[in-house]
Structure formats: structure tokens, C-alpha cells
A and B are shown apart, each in its own frame.
Chain A
Amino acid sequence: MSAPTTQAARATRMSAKDALAAVHATRGPRDIVITTMTPARDWMLLPQHPLDLVLVPSAMGSAPSMGLGLALAQPNRRVIVCNGDGSMLMNLGSLVSIVNARATNLVVIVFVNGTYEVTGSQPVPGAGVVDYAALARAAGFESVHAYASIDGWRSDVRRVLATTGPTFVALGVEPVHGQPGPKSPGPARERARRFMQALRA
């Protein structure tokens, strides 16, 4: 493991698409995967699953909190949240709430690219300085992982996702400039209805 915020790590950051592909290849058929912002845009390029919850539109920073609720309501399923670093900064308290609620089936993956990519790649506060893994540890997460290289992430993703959580993963990813933000995959109400049906199936 290595902290993705170090100079060496920044030089070898993985692509978000590759990192998401590793999650996609590893998620189980009963797993819930929540995506938002840049991870949502890239996740939608992959084959979709009835238990995908694409938070587009979203509330600011809401994905980990939605994930917490789902994890508590569905304790026998693994809930994987793919979040951006800008989004994480908008809801840092959620890390404390997740630990306090003992959501052992929840995995929060933060894609650390240092930018608000979907709004034109403005830097997030603390870009290159904030250690997200350390924030998670300070919030009480015991299962904390950080990767900068795709090889390391691919090698460990299955083990990391299988760990008793709550689990936090920081992935150092390369920002992609000039890309459009994620487009909603369809009316949110209808998607919510289908998602709930899929959970009951």
C-alpha cells in the first residue's frame, strides 16, 4: 500500500476507468454499487447491473450517506460507493457517521484526482495535500487502503472488497481534463423504482 498523495504516487496514478473496471470485474451479483460524479460518468461506460445506483443527479456529497442507509437496510449485501474527492470533502462527517453506525458491509472508494473534474477541473481544496486515508483512519475506520498504481489495486481489489468493514479505499487517479460531466441515465424516480424492485427480486 502507498499513500496516493505522495510525490512518487502522483507520478504513477492510475486511470479512473481502469480502477473502476477492476471494481466492476470484482463486484458480486448481489452487491450494490453507488456511483457519482466522475466515477458515475466512467461507470456508465461499463455494462450496467440492476443493483447499480447512479447518483446523477445527486445532492452534494451524498453518495456515502446514501450508501450508509442502504448498508443498514440491506445488511446481507455489500454496498460499494465510488465517490470523488471533491464530493468526499463536501460530506466528511459521513465518515464518522459510517463508523459510528458500524456498517460492516459498506465500502467507500474515493477517486482522488485533486480536481472538480466535471466542472472544468478546478482544483479541490487541499489538492495534493489532503491524505484521505488518514482522514478515514482518524474518523475511526480500521480497514483503510490506499493505492496509486493500477497493478496494486487490481492485485488487491478482491481481498479489499471482501474485508469486514466499514472499509475505506483511496485511489490516486489521473485527472482527465476537458471531459463532460456525467449525464443522467434516465428519470431518477423510475430508476429508484426499478432499483427497489431489483432488491426485492
Chain B
Amino acid sequence: MFSGEKIWTLLEQLGVTHVVTVPDSTIGRWQSAIEQHGTTRLVRVCREGEAWQVAAGLYLGGATPLVLIQCTGLLESGDAIRNALHDFGLPLFAIIGYRSYLNQDTLPGDTCLIFTEPTLDAWKIDYRLIAEPSQFDEIGAHWTACRDAAVAGAILLAEGKA
């Protein structure tokens, strides 16, 4: 839906210092643009729960991290989210790829569509669903709103084929 260059420009504008990520086939395409410019550091981790924990350390250390994962990884991140967002109260922000939202050809009946949004609600993460390119500006607006309120937030980015 969005090019890596467009996302990198946004991250620069928002002051993101580190992108902590496990890729999927959509958000993974942004990595080269982020790395190419070099001003926002890409931190590759092995599992999504780890991404929240690394982001927690970055935030405590004064950085401005973004967690960039797929919704499947959100589902495995529960304990890390509980600890970082709710025990320590850290207002972390994530962009989460929403697998199969736009196209279920690869995974008909993908259960990600059943569990992703209720999971975000359960973890009390204020999220916005971005389903069309025209909503691009909502990403930065929601980031800013969450930052100003010092609350955790997320963008749920609609994706096509798995």
C-alpha cells in the first residue's frame, strides 16, 4: 500500500530513532529504504515478543522506537506487551501488518481476521485501521496523538496476500 521511501520519510518526520522488526512480505519491503537512509536504525530481532522488549529498553534509554511486526507476531507478544505497556507503563507504538485483510486468496478463512482486533482491544492498545492509501496521514496523526497522551498505540495496516 505504501512504499518504503514514503514510510521512511514519515518515520523521519515523527522522530523515530529505531525500528524494531520482524518482517512479513508487506512491511519487510520497507527495510531497504530504512537502511539505505541510515538515520533511523533498523533493529532485526528473532521473534515479535522480543521486539516489544527491545523497544521497551530503547524507550527507557531515551530513544524513540517503533515496533514493526505482523499481526501473527502480535498474537505471540502477549507477555511482553503486558510487562512493557501495563507493568512499566511504557507508551510504545507499533505498526502491525494485518494479514489477509484485503485478500484471502492465499489463506482462505485466515483466523488472523478473527483474533487480531480483539487482541489489540484486550491489551488496551489504541489502534487505527489503515485500509486505503488515502488514510496515510492518519498514521502520523495517531502517532502524535498517542505520544501527546503518553499512551501506547498502534496502526493496523491492511495487507493483501500472506
Chain A residues close to B by CB (< 8 Å): 53, 57-60, 62, 65-74, 91, 93-94, 96-97, 100-101, 188-189, 191-192, 195-196, 199-200
Contacts and interface: CB of A to CB of B under 8 A. Distances in A.
Tier of interface size on chain B: 20 to 34
Interface in B79-131: 79-80, 82-84, 87-90
A96 B53 contact: no
Nearest to B61: A73
A interface SS class: helix
Interface stretch (B2-10, B29-37, B41-49, B138-146): B41-49
Contacts of A94: 45-46, 50
Contact of A72 (B58, B84, B87, B88): B58
Contacts, number: 107
A188 B88 contact: yes
Nearest to A56: B87
Interface of B: 17-18, 20, 41, 43-47, 49-50, 52-63, 65, 79-80, 82-84, 87-90
A31 B26 CA distance: 39
Contact of B90 (A93, A101, A192): A192
B57 A69 contact: yes
Nearest to B87: A188
Best-surrounded residue of A69, A73, A93 (most CB of chain B within 10 A):
A69
A100 to B, nearest CB: 6
B61 A72 contact: yes
A96 B46 CA distance: 8
